[in-house]
Structure 1
């Protein structure tokens, strides 16, 4: 099922198409998903001790398949079902040992889904209270790739839900809770800055000993922290971003471009966090429109999915946001990706996404709309 849909999506440059049973691969995928459900039903009656883990694996595959089709509502429903099973298994059946990577990806998708729903993770228990741990204890002992990964995971687990809360909030809503939001913002920023300091020490002492693959891995992790820093700095701003921040956007874009230039192997689908969030920050917020266009072009050059995020969706939204903003300011707009390609992406966005009511609650879409209103 997943293989057929991924093959179809790759041939279509990862554009979301919805289910189309006129396509041979889609018909095959439907047949396979039906068979999978049938086998799961039979296996349930067997009292198989591995049944829960098998269900979670299948659930994750269904999530990925629905994401490839652009059926986000279905994907989130499958994700929530899997999270319920995961929580129940860990609470009521602690003797069942689930695969650690399986748990990891469910928790990661849970955190990411905060941007595609009510603004909080489905299972708040997944958020450990890292904010009560001293940053020095968190980051001072980084000695290998795993340590860096764990450190950045802590930062993302704190930052992503906070950004999902702030981006779709209006200026009035931000003002009403400003003191609390400001304190949280500064705390997470402080943690990120401490991480960058200790990562610099790690980079000087350990980085040269790593293989190329691990070097790219830690480079990407550092990018994710840098992206979060700039996102946090601006998340309470409703309206135009100060021009004084332009050099930071340029630096972030350059860091992403340098990373991508060194990355020969670019998957079309990954459940890991990647480059899309950072490039979205530049493409949607930078005060310099030419820099935003460069970020959009960089995104458009690599069609792919990172968990729930599809790069085509981000390109479409960034182009729409930039075009409306320039028109509001009475400026001319000319896309560097070509009018035909832009029209196709725009049609894809509205036909496949905006027709779904839940999409309007996505944090980055809602946040972009509010920012445009404040610019008028």
Structure 2
């Protein structure tokens, strides 16, 4: 009988053994530090995976579920890997790539990552870390991660260990290696995506800033695909305060119409990126400035606002013509992408026209029907997804929050649940301010402070019950998570939306 077959029949393979023995599929004697099985045969022992070791005083935690392995994805390694690594790599190939290529069938950067992952161990470990983190989110649920007592699955520790291995390999890399810069850019991208999924925003900023710096220094020698990906991430993360690395600082130099009639519709993400960046940059300036600053510089701000609005309007008209001509010939995924591009342009138009009004109810009131139409358009786009991914009128706001939470998803630096939680906190604060203002104007100063606060709180509860229909319990738990996250994650306090929320609370 074949000795190897005999060993498989009569010996059970250890699941807590060292990485080398597990990759060789032999039983490990589990000697602390380095196992005797490896040292006695002259092999390097790669140590033990901490998340596999039994917990002191109790049984091991139950492992999270996982998808079946894809043979094509799990059999191309040029070095030994464990079953967990194969599974997470397969998950990245089968699920993460599908979710990461956004709304157009362009998988250029994932293909680059896969090609490099099969030749470079650092990129491979970074890919496995992203697959593990994404796997934890999918099987644990994005909603459950907003709880303060969220229990970590084994996939969390797989991702942590794989990140550490990737970091270690990069530190030991020869600085004269001609592939080093491209490997570092790819790893930075994977680290950013992993940190976004895990909502570790300090790490997001650190890795994104490093990647942007490398791309800016070596843009001519880096793949245009990677440059485009980092441009997109820079735009999405503009509220992190990273500054302009890859975009033209003077966005007023942009052409009047960024969508020529001959532009293919599936190129909208790259073609409109400069416009998105310019509009978001201007809107953040408007939202972050006080009414006094806006009044003092209104003439210059209004000129920029008019110029940008003109570019958005002309681009809208041109895109609408091309969309109407080619919409029926697009794939279903590309049709959704075109719908989202149309929604984004409409959002830019409305945001530009209101960002300098500083929450003035009288001046913002006429825009409420447009906000309602915008939410209706968003709801229509969301219904096209088989898997489900501030406004003046509070009923319209609640519809927007429901639409946002009905499709939990990450799109680059945007996390739908974090955004909806921030908006929910602002929703409650502004509703309370409005109720207090109305009651004070009605009752004057005849009511004492404690009695007045009780009346305000009762009115707010009644109005929330009427608006939400008692469907706000989950959001209340998410609000507790947000307060904890702001206290523990220092970078969140620098976000424009969080800063405005803290100012409102103050």
TM class by shorter-chain length?
0.7 to 0.9
Q: What is the alpha-carbon distance in structure 1 between the residues aligned to residue 469 and residue 401 of structure 2? A: 9
1:16–1:348 Cα contact (<8 Å) kept: yes
For the pair 1:44 / 2:174, whether they are aligned, the reply is yes
What's the counterpart of residue 113 of structure 2?
A: none
Distance of aligned partners of 1:211 and 1:9 in 2 relative to their CA distance in 1, 3 Å threshold: closer
TM norm structure 2 = 0.63
Distance of aligned partners of 1:239 and 1:209 in 2 relative to their CA distance in 1, 3 Å threshold: same
For the pair 1:6 / 2:134, whether they are aligned, the reply is yes
- The CA deviation at 1:197 is 1.1
Structure 2 gaps of 5+ residues are: 1-128, 436-458
- The CA deviation at 1:191 is 0.8
Structure 1 gaps of 5+ residues are: 268-283
What's the counterpart of residue 351 of structure 2?
A: 231
Structure showing greater radius of gyration is: 2
What's the counterpart of residue 32 of structure 1?
A: 162
Q: What is the alpha-carbon distance in structure 2 between the residues aligned to residue 17 and residue 5 of structure 1? A: 17
For the pair 1:351 / 2:480, whether they are aligned, the reply is no
- The CA deviation at 1:149 is 3.4
Q: What is the alpha-carbon distance in structure 2 between the residues aligned to residue 371 and residue 205 of structure 1? A: 46
- CA offset digits 1:242-296 (Å, max 9, x no partner): 22111111111111111111122556xxxxxxxxxxxxxxxx2x22111110110
Q: What is the alpha-carbon distance in structure 1 between the residues aligned to residue 267 and residue 413 of structure 2? A: 25
Distance of aligned partners of 1:104 and 1:140 in 2 relative to their CA distance in 1, 3 Å threshold: closer
- The CA deviation at 1:337 is 6.6
What's the counterpart of residue 83 of structure 1?
A: 212
2:422–2:497 Cα contact (<8 Å) kept: no
Q: What is the alpha-carbon distance in structure 2 between the residues aligned to residue 365 and residue 302 of structure 1? A: 22
Which of 315, 323, 330 is residue 203 of structure 1 equivalent to? 323
Which of 379, 382, 407 is residue 302 of structure 1 equivalent to? 407
Q: Which has the higher contact order (CA 8 A, sep 6+)?
A: 1
2:410–2:416 Cα contact (<8 Å) kept: yes
1:238–1:370 Cα contact (<8 Å) kept: no
- CA offset digits 1:286-344 (Å, max 9, x no partner): 22111110110111111111212211111111111111222222242233573431221
Which of 43, 46, 58 is residue 187 of structure 2 equivalent to? 58
For the pair 1:175 / 2:302, whether they are aligned, the reply is no
Q: Which runs of 4+ in 1 moved over 4 A?
A: 16-22, 368-373
Distance of aligned partners of 1:227 and 1:371 in 2 relative to their CA distance in 1, 3 Å threshold: farther
For the pair 1:115 / 2:239, whether they are aligned, the reply is yes
TM norm structure 1 = 0.84
- The CA deviation at 1:20 is 8.6
- The CA deviation at 1:371 is 7.1
Distance of aligned partners of 1:88 and 1:163 in 2 relative to their CA distance in 1, 3 Å threshold: same
For the pair 1:127 / 2:283, whether they are aligned, the reply is no
Say which SS state the counterpart of residue 181 (structure 2) adopts.
helix
Distance of aligned partners of 1:67 and 1:203 in 2 relative to their CA distance in 1, 3 Å threshold: closer
Q: CA RMSD in A?
A: 2.6
What's the counterpart of residue 104 of structure 1?
A: 228
What's the counterpart of residue 261 of structure 1?
A: 383
What's the counterpart of residue 494 of structure 2?
A: 361
Q: What is the alpha-carbon distance in structure 1 between the residues aligned to residue 320 and residue 499 of structure 2? A: 35
For the pair 1:148 / 2:276, whether they are aligned, the reply is no
Q: What is the alpha-carbon distance in structure 1 between the residues aligned to residue 298 and residue 487 of structure 2? A: 31
1:149–1:218 Cα contact (<8 Å) kept: no
Say which SS state the counterpart of residue 206 (structure 1) adopts.
helix
What's the counterpart of residue 165 of structure 1?
A: 285
- The CA deviation at 1:133 is 4.4
- CA offset digits 1:25-62 (Å, max 9, x no partner): 222212111111222233335x3322211111111111
What's the counterpart of residue 273 of structure 1?
A: none
- The CA deviation at 1:76 is 0.4
